[in-house]
């Protein structure tokens, strides 16, 4: 049985679902939808939201439901206890991260934006909540500086480059997805422990970082 995962490349929730396949070395078919394709996800699960897992003709939405479901195939690997400090760090950095991330994603050479209509759909939808991307991009040095300060606080929380708390847990799914989005932002400085962690998790999960296209 080949499991199909419908995703957008830039989507942090989709990264979470992809990670569990890579971490467990399980094969899956990676299907990237155009961002303005509403019919496909709505036809599958009744709403336009990815990721969606297709298994035996059945469809499962919700990234962490997919992670749990796939982790339960064979021997589970996300056995570590989460650390509330990681959740706090993620939530303290989320709004700045996504404010800086969305305008950069809108310009990035990603397959979900392969048509002008798909890219315009994303831009229009996201600008409606963030305000004009032009304003965000005009002056992001201060916010990048704040994220760099926060990364210095993350470094001592990383117990091992292979698992933030020493043993793989759902914290690794959430934290790496967050760092994956961050990798699209140029000017971010990774302390050595954070750099070792994000490179190792990228290798172990098979999810590439955006360093090469950071803007
Ligand atoms: N709770 C959902 C959230 C998924 C989600 O928000 N996906 C976004 C992409 S990052 C989406 O599909 N949005 C549709 C749209 O913006 O058109 C999950 O964890 O899977």
Asked if domains 4-71 and 84-213 share a fold, the reply is: no
Neighbours of 115 (CB within 10 A): 13
Specify the pLDDT at position 139.
83
CATH 3.40.47.10 fits 84-213, yes or no: no
Ligand 1 atom with least separation from CA of 50: 12
Tally of helices (H runs) and strands (E runs) in the chain:
9, 4
- Domains in the chain: boundaries: 4-71, 84-213
The pLDDT tens digits of the residues spanning 132-171 come to 999 999 889 999 999 999 999 999 999 999 999 999 999 9
Specify the pLDDT at position 1.
72
Ligand 1 atom with least separation from CA of 66: 20
Closest-CA residue, ligand 1 atom 2, reads 62
Residue list, ligand 1 pocket, CB within 6 Å:
8, 11, 13, 48-51, 62-63, 125
The pLDDT tens digits of the residues spanning 54-91 come to 999 999 999 999 999 999 999 999 999 999 999 999 99
The pLDDT tens digits of the residues spanning 96-136 come to 999 999 999 999 999 999 999 999 999 999 999 999 999 99
Closest-CA residue, ligand 1 atom 14, reads 49
The pLDDT tens digits of the residues spanning 19-49 come to 999 999 999 999 999 999 999 999 999 999 9
Between the alpha carbon of residue 191 and those of residues 16, 40, 86, 194, the distances in Å are 23, 41, 16, 5
CATH architecture of 4-71: 3-Layer(aba) Sandwich (3.40)
Token pair listed for 134 = 């032009």
Closest-CA residue, ligand 1 atom 9, reads 11
Token pair listed for 129 = 């909540």
Torsion sign (Cα): 56, 59, 62, 65: negative
Closest-CA residue, ligand 1 atom 1, reads 62
């Amino acid at each position: 049985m080949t499991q199909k995962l419908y995703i957008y490349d830039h989507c942090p929730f989709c990264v979470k679902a992809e990670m569990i396949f890579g971490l467990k070395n399980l094969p899956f078919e990676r299907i990237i939808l155009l961002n303005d394709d509403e019919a496909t996800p709505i036809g599958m699960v009744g709403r336009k939201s990815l990721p969606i897992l297709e298994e035996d003709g059945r469809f499962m939405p919700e990234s962490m439901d997919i992670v749990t479901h796939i982790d339960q195939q064979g021997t589970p690997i996300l056995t570590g206890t989460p650390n509330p400090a990681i959740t706090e760090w993620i939530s303290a950095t989320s709004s700045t991260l996504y404010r800086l991330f969305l305008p950069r994603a809108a310009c990035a050479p990603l397959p979900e934006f392969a048509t002008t209509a798909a890219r315009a759909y994303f831009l229009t939808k996201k600008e409606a909540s963030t305000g004009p991307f032009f304003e965000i991009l005009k002056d992001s040095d201060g916010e990048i500086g704040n994220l760099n300060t926060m990364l210095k606080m993350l470094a001592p929380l990383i117990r091992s480059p292979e698992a933030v708390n020493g043993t793989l847990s759902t914290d690794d799914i959430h934290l790496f997805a967050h760092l994956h989005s961050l990798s699209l932002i140029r000017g971010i400085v990774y302390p050595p422990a954070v750099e070792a962690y994000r490179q190792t998790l990228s290798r172990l999960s098979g999810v590439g970082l955006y360093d090469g296209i950071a803007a």
